[in-house]
């Protein structure tokens, strides 16, 4: 019978198609093509009307068996494919808990703080104490006690931020013998140097004194490549019996090498500061050209790094220290200047603009 052969062929083709179906969508296409309303098996069953009475039950039974087997195969493959697809989805969504995590960004100290800390470590290693003082101080501690004459240019409002004191009027200041170019402003100022801390310290402590006062100072400078209105100083003071210029040189030579490197040389040039006598400026040999001369050191082979000198006896006397018995030296270095020289910074403003691309390098 031709119809029996047709059923056999349909069953074989369906079995092959079901086994080869790659996914659920493809399997459904096979289902529609075989057992759907217009499917091959359905159309065979429709043609049964043409069969004889004897043939009909035989073919009908066979057709139902084929349909049953095809549907069972479809169901089995469907379950298989569904399981595979679920497995693939789980694999795609999987999290590998053994992968290393992403480290959160951790901050670090600002370059200037690091330099200040380094300087502190050097001097505390020599037995110095670290002192702090007020940002707002009086003209006495910032200038007068430090031997700066009343008419010294650094006292003018162009070089110092004065704090307005509404409780005092001009007449009171005049009666107090106040410098006339500072009328209307008070005796209070934002410290222009940390030297005032040294005065406070000498008033409270008797020699021997070995101290440094690192800190922020303020001057009415417009910020540019070489100036900042707010910057940081590391100043130091030694007062003891028998202190000489040789002690100053030995200390600052060691400090310079600690900050810039063992191979760096120093030189001392005479200078003037009201606070010290004799006074000097200290240069360190250029780290770029090693003294040969280059554009970084303006072809001198040297870079100016700090000011220093023997403490003026007047300053010792102002603080109640016997200048016949005791001598001392003082020095001051700018932390921003150390940073600029160490890292060849073209512009000091880079230190305060907070650009992380710059700061993260240190």
Site residues for Zn ion per CB under 5 A: 286, 288-289, 294, 296-297
Nearer to Zn ion, 284 or 319 (CB): 284
**Shortest approach of Zn ion to residue 301 CB, angstroms?**
6
Whether the Cβ atoms of residue 111 and residue 362 lie closer than 8 Å to each other:
yes
**Shortest approach of Zn ion to residue 294 CB, angstroms?**
3
Nearer to Zn ion, 69 or 298 (CB): 298
Residue nearest to Zn ion (CB): 286
Q: What would the two tokens of residue 267 be?
A: 């030189």
**Shortest approach of Zn ion to residue 287 CB, angstroms?**
8
Taking the alpha carbons of 196, 202, 208, 213 in that order, is the dihedral positive or negative?
negative
What CA–CA distance (Å, rounded) separates 231 from 217?
A: 6
* DSSP 8-state secondary structure symbol assigned to residue 126: T
Nearer to Zn ion, 147 or 285 (CB): 285
**Shortest approach of Zn ion to residue 297 CB, angstroms?**
3
Nearer to Zn ion, 62 or 288 (CB): 288
Nearer to Zn ion, 113 or 298 (CB): 298
What string of DSSP letters covers 69-94? HHHHHHHHHHHHHHHHHHHHHHHHH-
Nearer to Zn ion, 257 or 349 (CB): 257
CA distances from 31 to 22, 35, 76, 81, 228 (A): 14, 6, 13, 14, 83
Nearer to Zn ion, 21 or 286 (CB): 286
**Shortest approach of Zn ion to residue 283 CB, angstroms?**
11
Whether the Cβ atoms of residue 359 and residue 111 lie closer than 8 Å to each other:
yes
Nearer to Zn ion, 21 or 297 (CB): 297
**Shortest approach of Zn ion to residue 298 CB, angstroms?**
8
Could you give phi then psi for residue 6, rounded to 5 degrees?
A: -60, -45
Q: Which of 195, 233, 224, 132 is nearest to 328 (CA)?
A: 195
**Shortest approach of Zn ion to residue 261 CB, angstroms?**
14
Q: What would the two tokens of residue 88 be?
A: 């693939």
What CA–CA distance (Å, rounded) separates 130 from 236?
A: 9
Whether the Cβ atoms of residue 207 and residue 179 lie closer than 8 Å to each other:
no
Whether the Cβ atoms of residue 215 and residue 197 lie closer than 8 Å to each other:
yes
**Shortest approach of Zn ion to residue 254 CB, angstroms?**
23
What string of DSSP letters covers 310-360? EEPHHHHHHTT--TTT-EEEEEEEEHHHHHHHHHT-S-GGGGTS--HHHHT
Strand-strand pairing, 129-130 and 209-218? parallel
Nearer to Zn ion, 315 or 341 (CB): 341
Nearer to Zn ion, 296 or 343 (CB): 296
**Shortest approach of Zn ion to residue 339 CB, angstroms?**
18
Q: What would the two tokens of residue 97 be?
A: 């808990």
What CA–CA distance (Å, rounded) separates 272 from 281?
A: 9
**Shortest approach of Zn ion to residue 293 CB, angstroms?**
6
């Amino acid at each position: 019978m031709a119809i029996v052969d047709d059923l056999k062929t349909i069953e074989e083709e369906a079995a092959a198609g079901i086994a080869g179906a790659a996914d659920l969508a493809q399997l459904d296409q096979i289902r529609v093509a075989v057992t759907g309303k217009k499917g091959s098996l359905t159309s065979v069953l429709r043609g049964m009307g043409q069969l004889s009475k004897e043939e009909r039950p035989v073919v009908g039974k066979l057709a139902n068996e084929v349909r049953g087997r095809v549907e069972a195969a479809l169901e089995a493959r469907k379950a298989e494919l569904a399981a595979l697809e679920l497995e693939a989805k789980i694999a795609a969504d999987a999290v590998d808990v053994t992968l290393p995590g992403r480290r959160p960004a951790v901050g670090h100290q600002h370059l200037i703080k690091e330099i200040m800390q380094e300087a502190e470590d050097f001097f505390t290693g020599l037995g110095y104490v670290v002192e702090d003082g007020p940002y707002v101080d009086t003209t006495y501690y910032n200038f007068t006690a430090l031997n700066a004459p009343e008419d010294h240019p650094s006292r003018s409002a162009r070089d110092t931020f004065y704090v307005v004191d509404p409780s005092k009027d001009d007449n009171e200041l005049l009666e107090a013998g106040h410098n006339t170019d500072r009328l209307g402003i008070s005796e209070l100022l934002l410290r222009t140097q940390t030297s005032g801390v040294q005065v406070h310290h000498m008033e409270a402590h008797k020699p021997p004194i070995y101290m440094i006062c690192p800190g922020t100072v303020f001057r009415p400078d417009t910020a540019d490549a070489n100036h900042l209105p707010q910057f940081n100083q590391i100043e130091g003071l030694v007062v003891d019996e028998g202190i000489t210029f040789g002690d100053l040189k030995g200390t600052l030579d060691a400090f310079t090498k600690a900050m810039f490197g063992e191979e760096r040389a120093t030189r001392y040039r005479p200078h003037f500061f009201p606070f010290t006598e004799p006074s000097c400026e200290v240069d360190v040999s250029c780290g770029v050209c090693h003294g040969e001369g280059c554009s970084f050191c303006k072809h001198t082979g040297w870079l100016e790094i700090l000011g220093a000198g023997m403490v003026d006896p007047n300053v010792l006397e102002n603080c109640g220290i016997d200048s016949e018995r005791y001598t001392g030296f003082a020095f001051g270095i700018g932390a921003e200047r150390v940073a600029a020289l160490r890292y060849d910074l073209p512009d000091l403003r880079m230190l305060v603009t907070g650009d992380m691309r710059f700061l993260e390098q240190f």
